[in-house]
Amino acid sequence: MKEYTQAISELIAKVSESEIQLISELPLTASNRKYYRVVLKNESSYIAVFNDIVKENEAFISYAKSLKDIDAFVPTVHQVSEDKLWYLQDDLGSTTLFDFLNQKRGTDSFDKDRKAKYETIIKDLINIQIESYHTINFSLGFPRPAFDEQSIMWDLNYFKYYFLKLSGISLDEQLLEDDFIIFEKYLLKTPDAYFMYRDFQSRNIMLVDDKLAYIDFQGGRMGPLQYDLASLLFDSKAELDQEFRLEMLDFYFESLPRAIKTHQPNFKEKFWAFALIRVLQAMGAYGYRGLFEKKQHFINSIPLALTNIELILDQLSIKEKIPYLYSVLKKLPESSVLQKYIPNKKANNLKVQINSFSYKIGGIPKDTSDNGGGFVFDCRAIHNPGRYDEYKQLTGMDKPVIDFFKTVPEMDEFLSHVYEMVDASVQKYIDRDFTSLMVNFGCTGGQHRSVYSAEKLREHLSDKFNLEIELHHIEQEKK
């Protein structure tokens, strides 16, 4: 492979005479594709994508053109390398629907704003699914041109091998396989002459100047309508409540053209089955990337997915036809392996004090609890945004710095180890009725890396435990 700066420079030279000012790698997703934000000196920017699976690149490039033809807001592909391993697309910014929900959650206008966004998204989705069907070249679909028998069994087995097997649940594989076949046949008896986006979730929906744009549709194929709606409404990270899901399910169905509704008499009943396979497929990813590779943001999705499974099983009309699969899914929360990832919200007396500090200025904070011990984590091995002029006056609480750390893979890896160690101590302290634990994060100036890490630990512990948490950014409080 060419050195990435050379490959990107060659693509940029074909679209602009401006010189490159900065190339920053974006965080890895669940795939092995690599994304780079390329900022030019004329202040324009692009996203360069590297993917060594040429067929997947060809699918994305072709789909992007077809979706543009129906006026869907998707990125334009500007250039493709001769070997088709690289392509250059629009930079649609870094604000996703997931970010929007997190920023709005807890505000007075949250319910209203969320509803307005989702209704617009659903109308866009219906347009994409229906209008693009006759323009999409499904023969380019990768790895399958349609959501067919093989696709379904791949998803079910992905869940079995990468989640069930790692969860420690005892299995009768023949009974499970028998139910998989029954479930697959039920799913296949659904009208499927539509474009199925495949990964239609909050991190693939961008907010661009208050408009909605859609990315990462390279896995698209021919398939049923319900799958994408299930992807949207049962996106674990979006944390939608069941009442809102039901409201949006009704809105979607009522927004369909009359002719299509006529041919979908069991639309809502089938929806819950597609919600189940979508969540099972996602749990396969949480198992592989989380339980196996220990990536924290996938681990964080596990308890949310377990809750979603419970809600779906309550609505599922065919559970009597798949009794063994149903019983296995009901047992998942009892897994000793998964228990440690399920939030512990029981009452306790533990107070956790989290500090960010500067090794250079004030040194390691004194433990005022008289317990001694606790944790001190050194953040100085992580790439420092303070080396760049645009971040020097900011802290780890400011959005540009937060976005910067999203592009630094070692930060995510560092925090995953922190969470694992601190979680274990917090759980032990709760079990033993201890009252105090201190966790310190240090970097050179106590401004960027340590502040960001302390904020992320507070967020993580608040989600997982019922704790009193006291947070101090020591150098920033001095200012």
Q: What is the DSSP string of 155-211?
A: HHHHHIIIIIHHHT----HHHHHHHHHHHHHHHHSS---EEE-S--SGGGEEEETTE
Instruction: Choose among 259, 262, 273: nearest CA to 226.
Output: 273
| Helix/strand number for the chain, H first, E second | 19, 13
Options 3.40.50.300, 3.40.50.720, 1.10.240.10, 3.30.200.20; which CATH number does 4-90 get?
3.30.200.20
Strand partners, 463: none
Q: What amino acid occupies position 457? A: L
Domain spans of the chain, in order of start: 4-90, 97-339, 351-478
Angle at 90 between CA 282 and CA 199, to 5 degrees: 15
pLDDT at 318: 96
Options 1.10.150.120, 3.40.190.10, 3.40.50.150, 3.90.1200.10; which CATH number does 97-339 get?
3.90.1200.10
pLDDT at 28: 65
Average pLDDT over residues 320-328: 97
CA–CA gap between residue 201 and residue 335 (Å, rounded): 28
- Which residue shows structure tokens 């390398």? 81
CA–CA gap between residue 246 and residue 437 (Å, rounded): 42
Residues 382-437: tens digit of each pLDDT: 999 999 888 999 999 998 999 888 878 789 889 989 998 999 999 899 989 899 99
pLDDT at 1: 41
CA–CA gap between residue 234 and residue 309 (Å, rounded): 9
Average pLDDT over residues 100-118: 93
Do the beta carbons of residue 35 and residue 48 sit within 8 Å? yes
Average pLDDT over residues 319-345: 90
Single pTM value for the model: 0.81
Q: What amino acid occupies position 223? A: G
Percent of the chain with pLDDT over 90: 77
CA–CA gap between residue 237 and residue 301 (Å, rounded): 7
